[in-house]
């Protein structure tokens, strides 16, 4: 038997994708925020989309700079990810408070996060209003990964990397294993 749920919780049905940390910088201010609503939308050209509420400080930095980075965190920095989601970059320097390390990007001014296992440098292509969030489409200018955690097909080793997935509120999960349906 199924039950009807509140519409403001409907996103949690789909919200089990990997959490990423978005970084952005404008002038002398930078920021980090976790985003579970992220998706690749094109391979050629390489485009990604993230949904961010316009009132967020990171949104202001992205809108002004027209660029951002996507950083893939793991279970090892889950507490830092949660801190970044619960605190505003307007009030606190999240890099300083979490001790996450800024790394210089090659094509954008936004810092990359050293502790993350992959980083994408992105330039804003377009921003679409979408309810209480805006959908930011970015062109990927550069992608880097931790060599030992990705195979030749760039599939992440989930057993070792332990990417995190947001279930809602303070609840997260990690993938247990990869299943090849051809071997079932």
Instruction: Tell me, yes or no, whether 5 lies in a domain.
Output: no
Nearest CA to 112 among 99, 96, 100?
A: 100
Res 149: pLDDT: 81
Mean pLDDT by 10 residues, the chain (184 residues): 75 72 97 94 93 97 98 95 96 98 98 95 97 96 86 70 86 78 82
Q: Is residue 13 part of a domain?
A: no
In a domain, 140, yes or no: yes
CATH classification at residue 45: 2.30.110.10
Question: DSSP states of the chain as a string?
Answer: ------GGGTHHHH--SBPEEEEEEETTEEEEEEES-EEEEETTTTEEEEEE-TTSHHHHHHHHHSEEEEEE-BGGGHHHHHHHHHS-TTTS-HHHHHTPPEE--SS-SSPEETTSSEEEEEEEEEEEEETTEEEEEEEEEEEEE-GGGB-TT--B-HHHH-B-EEEETTEEE-------GGG-
Residue 14 lies in a domain: no
Predicted confidence at residue 166, as pLDDT, reads 86
- Domain containing residue 42: 19-175
Note the pLDDT of residue 18: 86
- How many structural domains are present in the chain? 1
Output the pLDDT for position 175: 82
- Whether 136 maps to a domain, the answer reads yes
Q: What is the pLDDT of residue 171?
A: 86
Give the pLDDT score at 52. Answer: 97
Q: Is residue 121 part of a domain?
A: yes
Residue 87 confidence (pLDDT): 97
């Amino acid at each position: 038997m199924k039950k009807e749920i509140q519409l403001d919780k409907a996103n949690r049905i789909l919200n089990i994708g990997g959490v990423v940390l978005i970084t952005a910088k404008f002038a002398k201010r930078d920021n980090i925020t976790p985003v579970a609503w992220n998706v690749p939308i094109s391979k050629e050209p390489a485009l990604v989309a993230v949904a961010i509420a316009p009132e967020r400080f990171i949104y202001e930095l992205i809108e002004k700079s027209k660029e951002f980075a996507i950083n893939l965190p793991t279970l090892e920095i889950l507490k830092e990810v949660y801190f970044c989601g619960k605190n505003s970059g307007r009030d606190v320097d999240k890099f300083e408070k979490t001790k996450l390390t800024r790394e210089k990007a090659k094509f954008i001014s936004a810092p990359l996060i050293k502790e993350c296992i992959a980083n994408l440098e992105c330039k804003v292509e377009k921003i679409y209003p979408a309810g209480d969030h805006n959908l930011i489409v970015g062109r990927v200018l550069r992608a880097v990964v931790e060599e030992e955690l990705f195979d030749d097909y760039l599939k992440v080793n989930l057993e070792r990397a332990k990417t995190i997935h947001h279930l809602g509120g303070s609840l997260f999960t990690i993938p247990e294993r990869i299943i090849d349906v051809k071997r079932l």
